[in-house]
Amino acid sequence: MHDAISAGEGDEPGPRLNALKEFHSSGRGFWKNVSDSDWNDWRWQLKNRITSLAQLERLMPTLTPEERAGTELSNSKLALGITPYFFNLIDPADELCPIRRQVIPRIEETHTAPWELSDPCGEDSHSPVPGLVHRYPDRVLFLVTDRCASYCRYCTRSRLVSNASGYDFHPDFDRQLEYIASHPEIRDVLLSGGDPLLFSDEKLEYLLSRLRAIRHVEFLRIGTRIPIFLPQRITPELCAMLRQFHPLFISIHANHPRELTTEVRAGLGRLADAGIPLGNQSVLLRHVNDDVEVMKALVQKLLLCRVKPYYVYQCDLISGSAHLRTSVRKGVEIMKALRGHTTGYAVPQYVIDAPGGGGKVPINPEYVLSRNADRVVIRNFEGKVFEYPEARDGRPMFKPSEDFCPPELV
Ligand code: SF4
């Protein structure tokens, strides 16, 4: 077993990192006259979402012309929707506010580059039954709804989510479940959408029970951004219902440390207390989290919320997302600054979902410098180079080959 704690130079937390890691409440902001019971009621939050330009202009007079024009057109692409709770995290004085960039439409969403696609992960072409994506051998993506608590402007599924572009997503649960039941190779089902936690406890319980009744389904997962957009939904009743279906994992989606508020930490704590392993999937976004310190604060703060940073995605080539994308070079630089420089549990896997349906491809900084028949030359996080000997023929090796150089000792 390797138990190692090592520090890199310049890894002491600076004041900016510490400030980013502080937990704050979203506060009441414009809704200070709303009763506690309404504010903490997830259905009230949904009913009072910001969904129109008129509401947005009233609440945020600092809307820029690009945002105003983008919002005007959003109802034919991806709807505008922001919960009051999440809206309070926006800094109206900062045009580059990382929260604002994720949920307020901009006119750039109507600019489409030739390589951008409406279905960048090729889900529709791997869909044997509407609402079911079978791209990997032993697992399926089970899309249950096209609705979310708030809408992310870079959403990979914006072709169907919110139905603004008229995709008309109508899942047929019986057909989806029948396909899973008749394919014994499917051992893992990921419920996603849209956001499955928008369903009532009863509806979700019905679906999970039907899945659990299929003997070859070993493992259930839910992909959700509700704990971030609407932590009020993570009620004790929901957690008690979910815990009946173990092994059940939940993947959340947070991109910036400011999204991890005291409310979110409490909701995630309730899920963790129900025995649900939690992972986080982030999307690398320009002026949101394409910054080493922001990403380090995010992954460390996730551990404080009992969430394992799982994936960082290079932003998919979704139509109208160029203004939110950042370079792969930047992504590799961030990963290099995390690996070895912070807790291994805090380091996510950086991936590109290969355009057109190739699946997730891991992208790593170069740690293997060369590989010969009898040695591997590796570089560690401090840039030091080492050799690791191995036998040419795979048999146990007891003495070095003649040209072997002993590894540098740390
Ligand atoms: S919560 Fe997920 S599915 Fe919904 S808009 Fe955001 S990225 Fe898309």
Which pLDDT tens digit goes with each residue over 250-264? 999 999 999 999 999
Give per-residue burial for 292-323: e unless 16+ CB within 10 Å, then b. Answer: bbbbbbbbbbbeebebbbbbbbbbbbbbbbbb
167 compared with 223, residue with greater pLDDT: 223
Strand arrangement, sheet containing 385-389 = 368-371, 375-379, 385-389
Q: Of 40-49, 123-132, 180-189, 345-354, which gets the smallest average pLDDT?
A: 123-132
pLDDT in tens, 356-388: 888 999 999 999 998 887 889 999 999 999 988
Measure 226 CA to ligand 1 centroid, in angstroms. Answer: 9
pLDDT exceeding 70 applies to what percent of the chain?
95
Predicted TM-score (pTM) of this structure: 0.94
Report the atom number in ligand 1 closest to the C-alpha of 223. 2
Measure 73 CA to ligand 1 centroid, in angstroms. Answer: 19
Measure 155 CA to ligand 1 centroid, in angstroms. Answer: 5
Distances in Å between the Cα of 142 and the Cα atoms of 151, 159, 176, 303 are: 19, 16, 7, 28
3-state secondary structure of 139: strand
Total residue length of the chain: 410
User: Is the CB of 252 within 6 Å of ligand 1?
Assistant: no
Residues 6+ apart with CB under 8 A from 12: none
pLDDT computed for residue 410 by the predictor: 43
**Cα separation of 290 and 158, whole Å?**
22
Structure tokens, 328? 């792969």
User: Is the CB of 20 within 6 Å of ligand 1?
Assistant: no
User: Is the CB of 155 within 6 Å of ligand 1?
Assistant: yes
Q: Average pLDDT in the 79-94 region?
A: 97
User: Is the CB of 161 within 6 Å of ligand 1?
Assistant: yes
Measure 101 CA to ligand 1 centroid, in angstroms. Answer: 14
Please state the φ and ψ torsions of residue 62, each to the nearest 5 degrees. -85, 15
> Where in the sequence numbering do the catalytic residues fall?
135-136, 139, 148, 152, 155, 157, 316, 353, 360
Burial of 141 (0-12, 13-18, 19+ CB in 10 A): buried
- Please choose from 161, 197, 253, 284 the residue to mutate so as to test ligand 1's pocket, defined by most ligand atoms within 8 A of CB: 161
What DSSP designation does 374 have? S
Measure 282 CA to ligand 1 centroid, in angstroms. Answer: 11
User: Is the CB of 139 within 6 Å of ligand 1?
Assistant: no
- Beta carbons of 262 and 227 less than 8 angstroms apart: no
